[in-house]
């Protein structure tokens, strides 16, 4: 249990520092649009939640022996589709919520359409990257006989942090 998790955790601590530094280096651009700064924790938070739920569900499926890594398997398919649907709904809601909160505080410069699109596309990119990552780690763990409970979540969360920040920056460049 410890031997599986510790190397992953150390890698994760390093990735945590990397994503923090990355954010730091974009600080100036981010400060022009406070709305985006406001979106980051929520985006990463939800991304992490979706990734963790997906990972935890996959781990259970593997342990119960009912998950197979093909799309015809109902557990495999339903988990992916459900996460994608929830992803679309929740990031649209996040976009609207952020817009109203930042305007309430009076720091908003972006239009409602822009904030909602930012949240929606950043979220979509994030989840589209997280799902294959989780599946890949689950599959490798399954093949190598590692406990997926110990491997999926610790690898998916920090990956999500970095991809979340990158996705947001990419969407900013494309949209604004």
- Give the other-Cβ count within 10 Å of 57's Cβ: 18
CB 79 within 8 A of CB 57: yes
Closest distance of CB 149 from other proteins, Å = 4
Closer CB to other proteins, residue 43 or residue 125?
43
Closer CB to other proteins, residue 125 or residue 158?
158
Closer CB to other proteins, residue 90 or residue 124?
90
Binding region for other proteins (CB under 8 A): 1-2, 5-6, 8-10, 12-17, 19-20, 38, 41-42, 45-46, 48-53, 55-57, 59-60, 63-66, 74-75, 78-79, 81-83, 85-86, 89-90, 93-94, 97, 101, 147-150, 152-154, 157-158, 161
- Which residues does 133 contact at the CB level (< 8 Å), separation at least 6? 51, 155, 156, 159
Closest distance of CB 37 from other proteins, Å = 10
CA angle 30, 9, 67 (to 5 degrees): 100
Q: Among the residues of the chain, which ranges form H helices? A: 2-25, 27-32, 34-64, 74-105, 112-144, 148-175
Closer CB to other proteins, residue 59 or residue 163?
59
Q: How far apart are CA 176 and CA 112, in angstroms?
A: 13
CA distances from residue 37 to 115, 118, 165 in whole angstroms, order as listed: 12, 12, 10
Closest distance of CB 2 from other proteins, Å = 6
CB 133 within 8 A of CB 155: yes
CB 126 within 8 A of CB 163: yes
Closest distance of CB 29 from other proteins, Å = 19
Closest distance of CB 117 from other proteins, Å = 18
Closer CB to other proteins, residue 7 or residue 174?
7
């Amino acid at each position: 249990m410890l031997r599986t998790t510790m190397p992953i955790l150390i890698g994760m601590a390093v990735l945590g520092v990397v994503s923090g530094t990355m954010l730091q280096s974009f600080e100036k651009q981010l400060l022009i649009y406070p709305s985006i700064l406001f979106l980051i924790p929520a985006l990463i938070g939800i991304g992490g939640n979706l990734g963790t739920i997906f990972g935890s569900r996959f781990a259970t499926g593997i342990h119960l022996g009912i998950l197979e890594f093909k799309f015809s398997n109902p557990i495999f398919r339903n988990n992916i589709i459900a996460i994608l649907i929830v992803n679309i709904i929740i990031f649209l809601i996040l976009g609207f919520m952020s817009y109203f909160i930042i305007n309430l505080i009076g720091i908003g410069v972006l239009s409602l359409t822009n904030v909602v699109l930012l949240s929606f596309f950043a979220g979509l990119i994030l989840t589209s990257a997280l799902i294959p990552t989780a599946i890949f780690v689950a599959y490798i763990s399954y093949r190598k006989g590692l406990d997926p409970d110990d491997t999926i979540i610790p690898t998916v969360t920090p990956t999500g942090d970095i991809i979340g920040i990158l996705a947001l920056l990419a969407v900013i460049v494309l949209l604004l």
